[in-house]
């Protein structure tokens, strides 16, 4: 119960602080867009798949890579 109260207080504090400084969901989205986080995640995933292919892990990894790539390009 005490942990929940502390958690709620922390969330309330951060929400108040963010609101007082004019932080909006649009600004948070812009911050993520500037950092190209989705591109970084995709690059890491592609590199992981390349390593798996080099070690011949199997056909399933190649199929998953292609499906994920198709999913990411449709967004």
Residues 69 and 45 both lie in one domain: yes
Q: Domain residues for 20?
A: 1-28
The torsion of the CA quartet 36, 40, 41, 45, rounded to 10 degrees, works out to 150
The total number of structural domains in the chain stands at: 2
Residues 40 and 75 both lie in one domain: yes
pLDDT tens for 15-39 read: 888 888 888 888 877 877 776 677 7
CA separation (Å) from 5 to 8, 15, 59?
5, 15, 49
Residues 47 and 22 both lie in one domain: no
Long-range (24+ apart) CB contacts under 8 A made by 23-29 are: none
pTM of the model as a whole: 0.36
Q: Which has the higher per-residue pLDDT, 12 or 30?
A: 12
* 24: region left, alpha or beta (phi > 0 left; psi from -120 to 50 alpha): beta
Residues 48 and 72 both lie in one domain: yes
Residues 64 and 42 both lie in one domain: yes
Residues 20 and 40 both lie in one domain: no
Residues 41 and 16 both lie in one domain: no
């Amino acid at each position: 119960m005490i942990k929940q109260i502390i958690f709620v207080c922390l969330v309330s504090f951060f929400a108040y602080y963010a609101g007082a400084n004019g932080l909006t969901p649009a600004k948070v989205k812009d911050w993520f867009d500037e950092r190209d986080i989705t591109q970084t995640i995709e690059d890491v995933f592609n590199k992981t798949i390349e390593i798996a292919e080099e070690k011949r892990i199997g056909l399933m990894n190649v199929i998953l890579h292609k499906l994920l790539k198709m999913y990411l390009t449709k967004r």
